[in-house]
Chains A and B, each alone.
Chain A
């Protein structure tokens, strides 16, 4: 199964404070372990929300809100994508992750929706739609 690990923001990450060398080294070592265990698929750190924006949907309306956003602990500072054999394995790996700030920190683990999760009902519909499109393309002179 694949899981996404969401690293929650802190005051520092939101202030754009770059991690120190010691933390970078520790994280590098941890990432190396993940790679050698065949776990790490992808991952990146994110800029603070002050450099981002949100688009709100209300019916047909769209409103753009520029960052920064207030609720720091609900924001995301980085993510990983892992391939693990169970949620418990993901939890064990996260527990081994160096504490990003030395103080408060939180990582959220969320399994990815895989095609199987959509159930057999959705897939055939999509397929039919696609087959129909293809027939139209084929029918062109």
Chain B
């Protein structure tokens, strides 16, 4: 048997993580104020912490928490109404509050299709908020993460995150952000913003995963969870399945992409046996779902299709680079960017030889946004190396080493540069 005293507290913590998003989402619909909804939900948590250790965990903890929060909401409305009477405030506003109180009593707070949750995602990713505020609010409201946990995950001081969240709630209130889910083109833009935030969270965990820092992989897991939820909340949205597919496939490589010393291992050198087969299968299934929904393939679906080409190749040599180059061309049309072009150049180099790749890279050399980007000389150096133009390759690797801000990458590039000086090394 588990120790009952610590067991209950740990159980409450787990229930809170599981229920807080739905709780806040339902409350936002009623009180139309994110800050107030969160306060009410927190009050319900406090009530649970007071009562559950003695009375035991209720049969349906989510419903219990919602009922407790609702009672507090009704109390609040009553108190506000009394204040108004005292101050003889406008009758119209009072009517609105009374209406809200009635609605609160009658509203069925069960939300079987998860509309409330989707609405909450839309609110947390509202365009009036800066991207870092969207991230913080999403992790807080939908992930149930504490301010401290968010701060630790993003290596930012706690007060900074706390302030970000307070300001975000204020900004939402000031903008009088509507709490209804938008329709038509507005829906498209907003759900895109939600996907962007989820992918941002994923990348924060993915790009710097070192293994030593547990909070980073946890961010990947959280983003994956949110992505899977989003895909189910609006299952007709192909791009959400595309995003889920992209994250599943990328996450499948997490354990293969860093060496024992934390140094990055590039895709062709990764031990494919260490890729997570389950996540690959899930990723391919999600991609299939996205593609079966049809329509124009969006950037996430296209990137997932590219990731799938790598995932399907049993060895690096089996990679269908021709198809990858085609997919990059489609991606460049859908979401033009010099980085996509650079990736396409790499794929062309692999599919049609280094000379073809070099031609595509050289077309990018005057691109202003890539001037300080270390991967441009890295890719160029690699192609020159393959063409046997060692002196030029060496210069490019050196340039790349000077541009990168990552110490481990710099070491790798300097090694490559040094290797260019020893022509008979291989």
- Write the residues of chain A forming the contact surface with B, with a CB cutoff of 8 angstroms: 1, 35-39, 41-42, 81, 83, 85-86, 88-89, 91-93, 114-116, 120, 123-124, 127, 130, 138
A83 touching B221 in the complex, CB below 8 Å, given contacts A89-B18, A123-B260: yes
B370 contacts the other chain (CB 8 A): no
The listed residue (A38, A91, A114, A130) touching B225 by CB distance below 8 A is A38
* 4 more A-B residue pairs beyond the given contacts A36-B114, A127-B260, with a C-beta to C-beta distance below 8 A: A35-B232, A41-B278, A88-B10, A116-B214
CB of B294 to closest CB in A, whole Å: 22
Q: Name the residue on A nearest B271 (C-beta).
A: A130
Query: What residues of chain A lie closer than 8 Å to B224, measured between beta carbons?
Result: 38, 83
Instruction: Sort chain B's interface into a size bin.
Output: 20 to 34
Q: B13 touching A38 by the CB < 8 A rule? A: no
Interface residues of B, Cβ cutoff 8 Å to A: 10-11, 13-15, 17-18, 61, 114, 211, 214, 218, 221, 224-229, 232-233, 255, 259-260, 271, 274, 278, 282, 426
Say whether B232 contacts A115, CB under 8 Å.
no
Task: Please count the residue pairs between chain A and chain B whose beta carbons lie under 8 angstroms apart in the complex.
Answer: 62
Q: How far is the CB of B301 from chain A (nearest CB, A)?
A: 19
Instruction: Say which residue of B11, B229, B271 sits within 8 Å of A91 (CB atoms).
Output: B11
What's the nearest-Cβ distance from chain A to residue B245, in Å?
A: 14
B260 contacts across to A, CB distance below 8 A: 120, 123-124, 127
The answer to whether A115 touches B255 (Cβ under 8 A) is yes
Bound form: Cα–Cα A35–B282 in Å: 12
Q: Is the interface of B mostly helix, strand, loop or mixed?
A: helix
- Tell whether A38 pairs with B211 under 8 Å between CB atoms, given A83-B221, A127-B259, A130-B271: no
Q: A36-B233, A38-B225, A38-B226 are in contact. Are A86 and B18 (CB under 8 A)?
A: no
Chain B nearest CB: distance from A136 CB in Å?
A: 14
Q: Can you show 25 pairs from A to B with CB atoms below 8 A apart?
A: A36-B114, A36-B232, A37-B225, A38-B225, A38-B229, A38-B232, A39-B225, A41-B282, A42-B278, A85-B221, A86-B13, A88-B11, A88-B14, A89-B14, A89-B17, A91-B11, A92-B11, A92-B18, A115-B274, A116-B211, A120-B260, A123-B260, A124-B260, A127-B271, A138-B426
